[in-house]
Amino acid sequence: MQGKIALEEHFAIEATLGDSQVFGAHVWETLGPRLIDIQDMRLAEMDKHGVEMMILSLNAPAVQAIHDVKTAIAVARQANDVLAEEVRKRPMRFAAFAALPMQDAEAGSAELTRCVKELGFVGALVNGFSQTGSPDTVVYYDLPQYRTFWRTVEALDVPFYLHPRNPLPSWARQYEGHNWLLGPNWAFHSETSVHALRLIGSGLFDECPNLKMVLGHIGEGLPIYLWRIDGRNGWMKEPHRYAAKHGVGHYFRKHFHLTTSGNFSTPALVNAVTEMGADHVMFSVDWPFEDVGEGAEWFDKAAISESDRVRIGRENAIELFKLKI
């Protein structure tokens, strides 16, 4: 399929580049240059495999792992300025997600507003929880101090992409002796799905009914569990006790959009379309950690209808992000 749009595609600046080495140390000679490059090998891969546009975002955990608030603000601003300059070179091929210093809700709101209104960014991508004040102090965005931030996101009418990061070592005893479970093998999905469920259960979407959220990797495992999360032991008639007014599935299907980033599984894709509808699923690769060719060739041949392929591969992203292409 020609004209695909991919939207979990990463880059790095020098200040954040080292954060990604752990996810590919044995191929760092290839992975490092892939992260820094935007206009050369990345564009060539797009042209080769029918990708018309990439929406770019900073690598992980990057800003979210900088516990000094002033430094986090400075690095986020630097990364966003660099990305804006790259997008200006080829605005028909690239768009941008803002990196945000979520260590401070007001700073996050201010940077998102600047990026959307002044730089033309189409949303934000944030790498999970933020460390703030000290390396072992973390904040999740369902906390009350973030309600003003979420109202800003809603008012700006842009999507918020919740991207994975690993749990802190001090919070990850269950992985001791099994480091292979960290990162994209398992910990990314576990961490991010819990964060998404916290946001839902907190009542955020009742207070901000027009928020639009994005999860990668075909929903971080959540689509297959929606029935069980809401059903529990149904015969016991014991409803969830949380601030939200409705079941998890209600909010997930209404507010969340999923991408195929780094999960090139046709059964998982079909399940997501069945649970969410084809209008809530979008194509993505997860470059440079995954390969454009592998992702594109899988998607182009996946056993879905051609109308769904066009919606998932292109039309949904144009509509959600208001892309002018």
Query: How do residues 103-154 score in pLDDT, each as one tens digit?
Result: 999 999 999 999 999 999 999 999 999 999 999 999 999 999 999 999 999 9
In the predicted model, what is the mean pLDDT of residues 91-100? Answer: 98
User: Residue 44 is part of a domain; what is its CATH number?
Assistant: 3.20.20.140
From the candidates 230, 286, 300, 308, which is the catalytic residue?
A: 286
Q: What does the pLDDT read at residue 299?
A: 98
| Rounded alpha-carbon distances, angstroms, from residue 11 to 79, 209, 310 | 9, 32, 26
Report pLDDT digits (tens) over 263-311.
999 999 999 999 999 999 999 999 999 999 999 999 999 999 999 999 9
Interior/surface letters 191-210, b for 16+ CB within 10 angstroms, e for the rest? bbbbbbbbbbbbbbbeebee
What pLDDT is recorded for position 146? Answer: 98
3-state SS, the chain, equals CCCEEEEEEEECCHHHHHHHHHHCHHHHHHHHHHHHCCCCHHHHHHHHCCEEEEEEEECCCHHHHCCCHHHHHHHHHHHHHHHHHHHHHCCCCEEEEECCCCCCHHHHHHHHHHHHHCCCCCEEEECCCEECCCCCCEECCCCHHHHHHHHHHHHHCCCEEECCCCCCHHHCHHHCCCHHHCHHHCHHHHHHHHHHHHHHHCCHHHHCCCCCEEECCCCCCCHHHHHHHHHCCHHHCCCCCCCCCCCHHHHHHHHEEEECCCCCCHHHHHHHHHHHCHHHEECCCCCCCCCHHHHHHHHHHCCCCHHHHHHHHHHHHHHHHCCCC
Q: What is the pLDDT of residue 233?
A: 85
What pLDDT digit, counting tens, does each position of 297-310 carry? 999 999 999 999 99
Residue type, 54: M
Q: Is the pLDDT of residue 232 over 90?
A: no
pLDDT digits (tens, 9 = 90+) for 176-224: 999 999 999 999 999 999 999 999 999 999 999 999 999 999 999 999 9
How sure is the predictor about 238, in pLDDT bands with cuts at 50, 70 and 90? confident
- Catalytic-residue membership of 286: yes
* Domain around 270: 4-321
Whether pLDDT at 240 is above 90: no
